[in-house]
Chains A and B, each alone.
Chain A
Amino acid sequence: MSIAERPVEDKMSKPGSDWRGRLLDRAPFLVACLMLALIVGIYGSLQSGVFSLDELNLDTAAAMTLMLAATGQTIVLLRGGIDLSIGGMISLGTVIAATRFTDDPATVALWVLVILGLGLVIGALNGLLISLLKLQPFLVTLATWSILNGAAMMILPTDGGSVPGWWVGFASAQLLGLTSPVWMLLALLVFWAWFRATRVGIAIQATGSNEKSAFLSGVSITRVNVVTYGLSGLFAAGAALYLTTQTGAGSPTIGKDYILPSVAAAVIGGVSLFGGRGHLAGTLIGAFVLTLIGNLVFVMHVSSYWQPVASGVILLLSVLASSVAEKAARGRVQ
């Protein structure tokens, strides 16, 4: 049923600040911060040396693949879509790198550009398909995920291949005591601060918030989709490249491990699945939460199968928190 019909409501709100509303808006993010603090606290009480720069370096290195993938996913979610194809893109990226990289930095640089370009183009194609065929993002990206997966299998049927040693060393390179993944993390935050303040960033958020209004305001929905999914593909390709520094090899199946966690990280961090709301800072905290759960399960000496169980519980709690906040906020408005 159309919701476009207008209510007969003609009130003006009372003047005054709205700090409670603002606080409620940020509730999901604050809950995520609280969760991270809690997990770090438990982790720190069970294990020595948790509150150190080394631990930060280590954990960021472990979380960075997910963080990169989830950055792209956050942009897509902000648009009100979802991108499952990043799983295929990550697999494809690692197998291309593991089969094409040589010791020659120039060759590596060339293939890095090829992989990033591929991510951008395939992502843009996702966006184009969604717009032109007017299909659900879920279905389109599910299809491209499958296609990319197949392509990865053709290039490298089983885990293997290799990347040069100096490439693997990238993740442990240090500057001012911080390893490159930590610098990447900071770069992601800077990128986000910039991106969200650009017209394109605002248009993507606006389209996710209300597509029809955005269109009536003159936004080209096709362009928004192409840019959104293009960026998601680009970040997935970046995640693939980073992943090879961790594994030193390629895998045609590894990408699927990042599809749902990338969504989960964003949701835990307070990004709305319905578009229009959320920030990368939340997503990155969500990625930390998901990564540290693994550490926690390890130091608690319980079966590693508890990790997905714990992740699921945390996801549920986050969704619950944001839904409660949403209801409270709505209750106040009416």
Chain B
Amino acid sequence: MDLVTVTGLSKRYGGIVALSDATFSARAGEVHALLGENGAGKSTFIQILSGAVQHDAGAIMVDGRDYRPANPDGAQARGIAAVFQELSLIPDLTVEQNIWFRREPLTPLRTVRRAELRRRTLALLEKYDFPPLRPDQELRRLTLAERQIVEIAKGLAKEPRILILDEATSALPAREAEWLLKLTRQLAAEGRLVIFISHRMAEVRAIADRLTIFRNGRTVAAHEAGAVSDEEIVTQMIGRHLDRLYPERVATATDRIALKVTGLSSGSRLSGVDFALREGEVLGVGGLQGHGQRELFQALFGATRASGRLELWGKPASIGNPRQALTGRDGIALVPEDRRGQGLLLTKSVRENLTLSVIGRFSRRGFLSRQKEAELVREMVGFLRIKADTPEQAAGTLSGGNQQKVIFGKMLLTEARVLLLYDPTRGVDVGTKGEIFQLMRDLAAKGYAILFHSSDMPELVHVADRVLVMRNGRVAATLEGERISEAEILRAAMLQREAA
């Protein structure tokens, strides 16, 4: 009999459907892999299983009984523990305090029995042959890999019948990752169910008995691991998409280099990025989430400290902060990811938002030329087809897509000709998405150079002239022409073995 059966599971966040009619079943004693692109619904699925969020519709049966945990405690009561990708650890507690947090052994005075806590910790670490950890060390002194191991210990300390591992190997060095894979098999052999999420196909191949594939919030297939090929899996992860959304891709790139980046590094997330962006080109930045895409954009815009060399239109540039990056025709302009927080003043009018960064251009000896401003604003509203009643309408009252257009307008008015677009279509309706893609191609045709990241892979495939695939803070591959496809992007991001 199946240990877990899920039918019709759905979850929305506001207007966004995160999970829709998902089905799933898994047996005790197996390693069950979940596969899917970013945003396919895997994370929401395990968050529901672990009690971190509650589903809107559908049923989960565990051991033949209805299961609907109100919080992580409810999950634990039914023997389900999750090792989260976003760690659930407390930086200021020690390793042992973290492992047993809220389940500490107590003295009659209701205080923690420290000797017993230590004994249990050492016993646990020994039982599963953990890599060396100091129980009394505070968590914030640990490296990310060590924290991941503590998180695993915390999950195992609950002696769960169902253990969920959410990309637990991705933060581990090779040896520790091997250990975890072995441990996973061992746990399954003990009769537990391990639900295993990984973007590394080789790992899934090595340990999974069965796998379930997610796409666009739905479960599209479940397989015995031996009965399906890598290619089939990748195809099912991608599915078929409508192409009508995308404008015709006309090659407009010239030989002139607009932005040349050499050895760009920032912290531990960006380690030596090299590329050249040409005039008239749309250069896509893809890869799995969290492999340095965000940091690349931030570093280029000067919002985070970074090292490396930049050349703008053939001249060396040091880009220290956003204001400096914005100035002039040689500058860089950014459409940020969180437009409500970073790009737009919601209570200000469309006109004010458009001209905020370039107010100096309309003033003479400190006085604003209203006429000149109005003219430009009218032009921009027309060019971008911003649907606002008047330019004085508050930006916050526009639809998401039109807000995004205002940000584009603001950016275009700076006259910068290197544009950084970070997920510009997120939360934008389909119709406006199409307009934005068309606008990007139009701008490229006018000689703008565009660096474009999207969390939605098909957008990269259909809009970009070339695609940089990032992995571990580096450019793992540059795809051109025929080679730009979702399968190729996924392959470059996942399939190659990572250097230890």
Residues of chain A within 8 A of B338, CB atoms compared: 1
| CB proximity to A under 8 Å, residues B342-371 | 342
A217 touching B92 in the complex, CB below 8 Å, given contacts A12-B131, A12-B143, A194-B109: no
Asked whether B292 lies within 8 Å of A8 as measured between CB atoms, the reply is: yes
A217 touching B146 in the complex, CB below 8 Å, given contacts A7-B268, A12-B173, A203-B102: no
Mask, B159-178, CB within 8 Å of A = 1, is: 00000000000111100100
Residues of chain B within 8 A of A5, CB atoms compared: 289-290, 294
Indicate the member of A4, A6, A11 with the most B CB atoms within 10 Å.
A6
Complex partner residue of B146 from A12, A197, A212, A216, CB under 8 angstroms: A12
Mask, B261-273, CB within 8 Å of A = 1, is: 0000001110000
Mask, B328-346, CB within 8 Å of A = 1, is: 0000000001100010000
Asked whether B176 lies within 8 Å of A199 as measured between CB atoms, the reply is: no
Complex partner residue of A217 from B101, B170, B173, B291, CB under 8 angstroms: B101
Asked whether B84 lies within 8 Å of A9 as measured between CB atoms, the reply is: no
Asked whether B71 lies within 8 Å of A199 as measured between CB atoms, the reply is: no
Q: Is A214 an interface residue (CB 8 A)?
A: yes
Interface segment, one of B134-142, B197-205, B393-401: B134-142
In the assembled complex, how far is the CB of residue B344 from the closest CB belonging to chain A, in whole angstroms? 15
Residues of chain B within 8 A of A220, CB atoms compared: 71
Q: Is A177 an interface residue (CB 8 A)?
A: no
Complex partner residue of B141 from A208, A218, A333, CB under 8 angstroms: A333
A10 touching B72 in the complex, CB below 8 Å, given contacts A4-B86, A199-B112, A203-B102: no
Mask, A141-177, CB within 8 Å of B = 1, is: 0000000000000000000000000000000000000
Asked whether B294 lies within 8 Å of A13 as measured between CB atoms, the reply is: no
By size class, the interface of chain B is 35 or more
In the assembled complex, how far is the CB of residue A210 from the closest CB belonging to chain B, in whole angstroms? 5
A206 touching B71 in the complex, CB below 8 Å, given contacts A7-B267, A18-B141: no
Bound form: Cα–Cα A9–B472 in Å: 9
In the assembled complex, how far is the CB of residue A93 from the closest CB belonging to chain B, in whole angstroms? 29
Asked whether B72 lies within 8 Å of A11 as measured between CB atoms, the reply is: no
Bound form: Cα–Cα A334–B140 in Å: 11
Q: Is B106 an interface residue (CB 8 A)?
A: yes
A13 touching B172 in the complex, CB below 8 Å, given contacts A5-B289, A202-B101, A202-B112: no
A210 touching B173 in the complex, CB below 8 Å, given contacts A194-B109, A202-B101, A202-B104: no
Asked whether B102 lies within 8 Å of A6 as measured between CB atoms, the reply is: no
Q: Of all chain A residues, which has the CB nearest B47? A: A216
Residues of chain A within 8 A of B473, CB atoms compared: 8
Q: Of all chain B residues, which has the CB nearest A15? A: B132
Asked whether B145 lies within 8 Å of A18 as measured between CB atoms, the reply is: no
Residues of chain A within 8 A of B269, CB atoms compared: 7-8
Indicate the member of A6, A7, A10, A194 with the most B CB atoms within 10 Å.
A10
| CB proximity to A under 8 Å, residues B254-284 | 267-269
A197 touching B111 in the complex, CB below 8 Å, given contacts A9-B145, A218-B71: yes
Bound form: Cα–Cα A34–B263 in Å: 47
Asked whether A11 lies within 8 Å of B145 as measured between CB atoms, the reply is: yes
Q: Of all chain B residues, which has the CB nearest A201? A: B111
Asked whether B291 lies within 8 Å of A197 as measured between CB atoms, the reply is: no
Asked whether B102 lies within 8 Å of A10 as measured between CB atoms, the reply is: no
Asked whether A8 lies within 8 Å of B291 as measured between CB atoms, the reply is: yes
Asked whether B141 lies within 8 Å of A9 as measured between CB atoms, the reply is: no
Asked whether A10 lies within 8 Å of B142 as measured between CB atoms, the reply is: no
Asked whether B73 lies within 8 Å of A218 as measured between CB atoms, the reply is: yes
Q: Is B88 an interface residue (CB 8 A)?
A: yes
Bound form: Cα–Cα A183–B132 in Å: 45
Bound form: Cα–Cα A21–B141 in Å: 8
| CB proximity to A under 8 Å, residues B265-320 | 267-269, 289-292, 294, 298
Bound form: Cα–Cα A164–B93 in Å: 47
Complex partner residue of B90 from A6, A15, A213, A333, CB under 8 angstroms: A213
A217 touching B72 in the complex, CB below 8 Å, given contacts A10-B171, A15-B132: yes
| CB proximity to A under 8 Å, residues B107-138 | 109-112, 131-132, 137-138
Asked whether A213 lies within 8 Å of B290 as measured between CB atoms, the reply is: no
Residues of chain A within 8 A of B138, CB atoms compared: 25
Q: Is B52 an interface residue (CB 8 A)?
A: yes
Q: Is B20 an interface residue (CB 8 A)?
A: no
Complex partner residue of A198 from B52, B86, B110, B145, CB under 8 angstroms: B110
Residues of chain A within 8 A of B84, CB atoms compared: 216
Asked whether B106 lies within 8 Å of A6 as measured between CB atoms, the reply is: no
Q: Of all chain B residues, which has the CB nearest A197? A: B111
Complex partner residue of A333 from B140, B171, B172, CB under 8 angstroms: B140
Given contacts A6-B85, A202-B112, A203-B102, list 16 more A-B pairs with CB under 8 A: A5-B290, A6-B144, A9-B144, A10-B172, A11-B145, A13-B141, A13-B143, A198-B111, A202-B104, A206-B90, A209-B91, A209-B92, A216-B86, A217-B90, A276-B91, A276-B92
By a beta-carbon cutoff of 8 Å, the part of chain B in contact with chain A is 52, 71-73, 76, 84-93, 97, 101-102, 104, 106, 109-112, 131-132, 137-138, 140-146, 170-173, 176, 267-269, 289-292, 294, 298, 337-338, 342, 472-473
User: Mind listing 10 A-B residue pairs with CB under 8 Å?
Assistant: A1-B338, A11-B144, A12-B143, A15-B132, A18-B137, A25-B138, A197-B111, A206-B101, A218-B71, A276-B90
Top-3 shortest CB links A-B? A197-B111, A216-B88, A276-B92
